[in-house]
Structure 1
């Protein structure tokens, strides 16, 4: 076994199953081992590589096709689709995309998506938040301002804040979208976290406190504006962190 098939054979734990085939091929496609336009090895070769039956392999290919990563072509084979056609709202595809490394374009695209719905979630929260919801958000802000955080812990608190705002909005689409991009948000928030700078931790907590205050006062425009500011500042810090890497 040589070349790409050898690479495939080395990526797993030896557990041959539908999930293992999907995860391994998915990561290889998203990571560029099989670039857009490439034709995957035939069923016989892949079956031998993974040690699975044709039935398991076919089901794995159906799963990858449903994620819009591949497409079977008559008399051509199984072709890797263009990146623009990948279903990035699929949790697996998004996780594989994040795992293969972030770039400036990905950060920009994610921020643009967040700007499209998170300010509106904050505005809806102005109409629907209860006193208990406001108290919960303020508790998260206080937790965020703890100077004992490391990058991972403050990112976890930051993520919790944004997921709770989406939950308070009571809009099922906003809740679902937040859940779908949770993996990407967790990575991005970790990169943009200010844990190395006490003043920046305080600033981060204060900016999130402004969102809560706007929601508490039912000021929808201010809620939108403060949420936009937090997202844009985070994207700028993330771009800076990538530049330093």
Structure 2
């Protein structure tokens, strides 16, 4: 797992300090998700990968175990480490989702992501309208302000929006709905890096949609929260799918 917001932070070129274990995981994971290492292919030998990534056998083995736990690879005696079928991949893993940002655009996958997001975030918004506290609303408004004052910083804007969505899920009092945050982060990252010439217009519309959503939650309007959440979804959906 990775910390929420890591993908959006990387949009500005800012990465966490290099860790050899996570470096190898990211390199191999992105290669699998992007198709550079196709499903069914056998990865190079330990010796070759150790030289390629500049790591020890211990680091490599631990990285492969992590990828196996995510369902991306499987180790077979006398065969080696093979890339698993997509049906075995853990698509709800935050790293697996983040690696899709670097993969070729796939409208079918994006549509599936939006379907999952709607299935989780609509009940989260409804639950937030029922169970929100004054502190929940204060936090949402704080992050809305941060988004509105982000200026040209795509990173600051994206992180602030993500915090609003995270607090909505938290306010629903259904911990299972927090699983939507990783999906929202990937879709936010995609939306913020599509059509760079209109990103400021998108950000303005995004803030407006979130403000209406938070107002409905604060007022306890369940149906209104659902409607404004749907409008926010449609805004992202149109932007990401447009022109693909």
TM bucket normalised to smaller: 0.7 to 0.9
- Provide the residue aligned with 2:12 in structure 1: none
Shift of 1:101: 4.3
CA distance in 2, matches of 1:50, 1:238: 33
Give the length in aligned residue pairs.
225
- Provide the residue aligned with 2:3 in structure 1: none
CA distance in 2, matches of 1:86, 1:53: 26
By relative contact order (CA 8 Å, sep 6+), the higher-ranking structure is: 2
- Provide the residue aligned with 1:12 in structure 2: none
- Provide the residue aligned with 1:196 in structure 2: 200
Segments of 5+ residues of structure 1 without an aligned counterpart are: 1-14
- Provide the residue aligned with 1:180 in structure 2: 182
- Provide the residue aligned with 1:40 in structure 2: 43
Alignment of 1:63-212 (within 5 A): 63-142=66-145, 144-145=147-148, 148-149=151-152, 151-175=154-178, 177-181=179-183, 183-191=185-193, 195-197=199-201, 203-212=205-214
Compute the RMSD of aligned alpha carbons.
3.0
Shift of 1:41: 1.9
- Provide the residue aligned with 1:231 in structure 2: 233
Partners of 1:211 and 1:227 within 8 A in 2: yes
Could you say which structure has the larger radius of gyration? 1
Partners of 2:165 and 2:181 within 8 A in 1: no
| Aligned match for 2:64, one of 56, 61, 71 | 61
Segments of 5+ residues of structure 2 without an aligned counterpart are: 1-17
- Provide the residue aligned with 2:30 in structure 1: 27
Partners of 2:192 and 2:199 within 8 A in 1: no
Name whichever of 17-26 and 219-228 sits farther off: 17-26
Shift of 1:179: 4.1
CA distance in 1, matches of 2:159, 2:24: 31
> CA deviation digits over 1:110-163, x for unaligned, max 9?
211110111111111112112333344344445545594554443333222212
